[in-house]
Structure 1
Amino acid sequence: MAGGPSGTAEGVSNASLVWAVIMSAFAAFGGILFGYDTGTIGGAIQMDNWLETFGSFDSTHFLGSQTNGYYLRTADKSLVVSILSAGTFFGALLAFPMGDMVGRKYGITFSCVIFALGVGLQLDTKWSTFVVGRVIAGLGVGLVSCLVPMYQSECSPKNIRGLIVGLYQLAITIGALLAAIVLNATKDKQSHAAWRIPIAVQFCWAFILGGGMLLLPESPRYLLYKDRVDAARRALGRLTNRPADSPEVEAECTEITLALEAERAVGNGSYADCFKNTELRQGFRTWTAIMLQGWQQLTGINFVTLLIASSTDGTSFFASAGIKNPFIITVIADVVNTCMTIVGIQLIDRVGRRRLLLIGAAGMMVCEYIVAIVGVAAGQIAADGSVNVTAQRVLIAFVCFYIAFFATSWGPVAWVVTGEIFPLTIRAKGMSLAVASNWLWNFGIGYATPYLVDPSTKGQPNGVATAGLRVKVFFIWGSTCLGCLIFAYFFIPETKGLSLEQIDLLYKESSITGSEKYRKQMIAQNETHAHHEKHVSSQDDSHDERVDERVDKV
Structure 2
Amino acid sequence: MLGIQERITGSWLIALVTILDAGNSCWFGYDQGVFAGVLVSPDFLARFPSTQNADISGITSSCFFLGAGLGAICAFLLGDKLGRRRTIALGLLCNTVGALLQTLAWHLPQMVVGRLINGFGIGLVSSMSPVYLSECCKSNVRGMLMGIATCCNVGCFCIANWIAYGLYYRGDAFQWRFPLAFQLVFLFIIAPILAILPDSPRWLLLQDRDEDALFTLSRLMGHNQSVEDADVLAEFASIKSAIRMEREDQVPLRDVLCSRDRTQNLRRLMLSCGTQFFQQFTGINAWGFYLPTLLQEFVGYDQQMSRLISAASSTVYVGSSFACLMLIDRIGRRKMMMYSPVFIGACLLIAAIALEVGENDMTKKSTMGKVATAMVLLYHVFFGLGFSTVPWVYSAEVNSLGWRTRGAAAATSVNWFFGFVVVQITKIGLDHLKWRFFLMFAVFSFAISPIIYLFYPETSNRTLEDMDQIFIHNPSAFVFKNRFAIQSGRPQLFIDAEALRIAHEENNSREAVLAPDEKNGLPRFSITEV
Q: Which category of TM-score, normalised to the shorter sequence, fits these structures? A: 0.7 to 0.9
Counterparts of 1:130-279 in structure 2 under 5 Å? Answer: 130-241=111-222, 242-267=225-250, 270=253, 273=256, 276-279=259-262
Residue 279 of structure 1 aligns to a residue whose secondary structure is coil
> What is the rounded CA distance, in whole Å, between the counterparts of 2:359 and 2:400 in structure 1?
51
Residue 52 (structure 2) aligns with = 72
Closer/same/farther in 2, CA of residues 277 and 341 from structure 1, 3 Å limit: farther
CA shift, 1:187, in A, is 3.5
Instruction: Look up the match of 2:277.
Output: 294
Structure-1 separation of matches of 2:54 and 2:526: 67
User: Given residue 380 of structure 1, which amino acid in structure 2 is its aligned partner?
Assistant: E
Q: Choose the corresponding residue for 1:27, options 14, 21, 31.
A: 21
d(CA) in 2 for partners of 1:211 and 1:274? 40
Q: Distance in 1 between matches of 2:392 and 2:204?
A: 23
How many angstroms does 1:299 deviate by? Answer: 1.0
- Is the 1:494–1:516 Cα contact (8 Å) retained in structure 2? no
**Could you give the per-residue CA deviations for residues 412-439 of structure 1, whole angstroms, max 9, x where no partner exists?**
0001110001111111122211111111
Which whole-Å CA distance do the structure 2 matches of 1:521 and 1:83 have between them?
42
Contact 1:30 1:171 in 2 (8 A): no
Deviation of 1:38 after TM superposition, in Å, equals 2.0
> Are the aligned partners of 1:297 and 1:442 in contact in 2 as well (CA < 8 Å)?
yes
1:298: how far off? 0.8
1:476 to 440, 445, 450: 440
Give the Å deviation of 1:277: 3.8
Deviation at 1:524, TM superposition (A): 6.9
- Identify the residue that residue 480 of structure 2 maps to in structure 1: 513
**3-state DSSP of counterpart to 2:461:** coil
Residue 49 of structure 1 pairs with residue 43 of structure 2: yes
Alignment of 1:486-525 (within 5 A): 486-510=450-474, 512-518=479-485, 520=489, 522-523=491-492
- In the other structure, the counterpart of 2:519 is none
Structure 1: distance between partners of 2:49 and 2:385? 38
The aligned counterpart of 1:347 is 327
Deviation at 1:272, TM superposition (A): 6.4
Partners of 1:318 and 1:324 within 8 A in 2: no
Unaligned runs of 5+ in 1: 1-14, 57-70, 455-466, 545-554
Report deviation, 1:513: 1.4
| 8 A contact 2:512–2:527 mirrored in 1 | no
Farther off after superposition, 185-194 or 510-519: 510-519
Which residue of structure 2 aligns with residue 444 of structure 1? 421
How many residue pairs end up in the alignment? 496
- Once residues 210 and 262 of structure 1 are traced to their aligned partners in structure 2, the CA distance between those partners, rounded to angstroms, is 36
Measure how far apart 1:98 and its partner are: 3.3
Aligned residue in 1 for 2:507:
none
Aligned pair in 2 of structure 1 residues 271, 207: CA closer, same or farther (>3 Å)?
farther
Structure 1 pair 431–272 and aligned structure 2 pair: CA distance change class (3 A): farther
Deviations 1:370-421 (A, max 9, x none): 2222332x333755xx434443322222221111111111110001110001
Mapped partners of 2:18, 2:148: distance in 1: 10
Bigger Cα displacement from structure 2, 444-453 vs 362-371: 362-371
Tell me the TM-score normalized by structure 2: 0.88
CA–CA separation in structure 2 for the residues paired with 1:149 and 1:478: 29
2:148 maps to amino acid: L
My pick for the range that moved more, 513-522 or 349-358, is 513-522
**CA distance in 2 between partners of 1:269 and 1:138 (Å):** 32
Structure 2 unaligned blocks of 5 or more: 1-8, 502-510, 516-524
State the distance in 2 between where 1:416 and 1:540 align. Answer: 33
- Contact kept, 8 Å, 1:121 with 1:130, in 2: the verdict is yes
2:391 corresponds to which letter in structure 1? A
Normalization by structure 1: what TM-score?
0.84
Q: Say whether the 8 Å CA contact 2:18–2:149 is kept in structure 1.
A: no
281, 284, 288: which one pairs with 2:264? Answer: 281
1:340-366 Cα deviation digits (max 9, x unpaired) = 000012211000000011110211122
- The correspondence for 1:335, drawn from 296, 315, 320, is 315
Give SS of 1:86's match: helix
Instruction: Name the SS for the 1:444 alignment partner.
Output: helix
Cα separation, partners in 2 of 1:332 and 1:98, compared to 1, 3 Å: same
The 3-state SS of whatever aligns with 1:94 is helix
Classify the secondary structure of the residue corresponding to 1:410: coil
- CA drift of 1:206 comes to 2.6
Give yes or no for contact 2:135–2:202 (8 Å, CA) kept in 1.
yes
Distance 1:264 1:299 in 2: 38
**How far has the Cα of 1:273 moved from its partner?**
3.3
8 Å contact from structure 1 (residues 121, 129) kept in 2 = yes
Aligned pair in 2 of structure 1 residues 516, 399: CA closer, same or farther (>3 Å)? farther
Q: Distance in 2 between matches of 1:272 and 1:121?
A: 44
Counterpart-to-counterpart distance in 1, 2:228 and 2:493 = 28
Where does residue 379 of structure 1 map in the other structure? 358
Alignment-derived partner of residue 33 in structure 2: 39
Range with greater deviation from structure 2 (43-52 or 241-250): 241-250
How many angstroms apart in 1 are the aligned matches of 2:125 and 2:98?
Answer: 14
Measure the CA separation in 2 of the matches of 1:185 and 1:474.
Answer: 29
Q: After TM superposition, list the pairs within 5 Å mapping 1:522-533 onto structure 2.
A: 522-523=491-492, 526-531=495-500, 533=511
Query: The residue matched to 2:43 in structure 1 has which SS?
Result: helix
Cα distance in 2 between the residues matched to 1:370 and 1:154: 42
Structure 1 letter corresponding to 2:228: D
Task: After TM superposition, give the deviation of residue 540 of structure 1 in Å.
Answer: 6.6
Distance verdict in 2 for CA 1:17–1:512, change over 3 Å: farther
RMSD: 2.4
Q: Is the 8 A contact 2:83 2:199 kept in 1?
A: yes
Q: Which amino acid aligns with 2:92?
A: C
Name the CA distance, whole Å, in 2 between partners of 1:174 and 1:536.
45
Give the CA deviation at 1:111: 0.8
**Amino acid across the alignment from 1:251:** A
How far apart are residue 21 of structure 1 and its match?
4.2
CA deviations on 1:275-325 (whole Å, 9 max, x unpaired) are 634221111111111222111111111112233132xx22134446x9952
Cα pair 1:24 1:156 within 8 Å, conserved:
no
Partner residue in 2 for 1:552: none
> 2 CA distance for matches of 1:85 and 1:425?
27
AA partner of residue 80 (structure 2): D
- Partner residue in 1 for 2:407: 430
Distance 1:393 1:82 in 2: 28
Residues 501-521 of structure 1, C-alpha deviations (whole Å, 9 max, x = no match):
011112222462145445557
Amino acid at match of 2:451: F
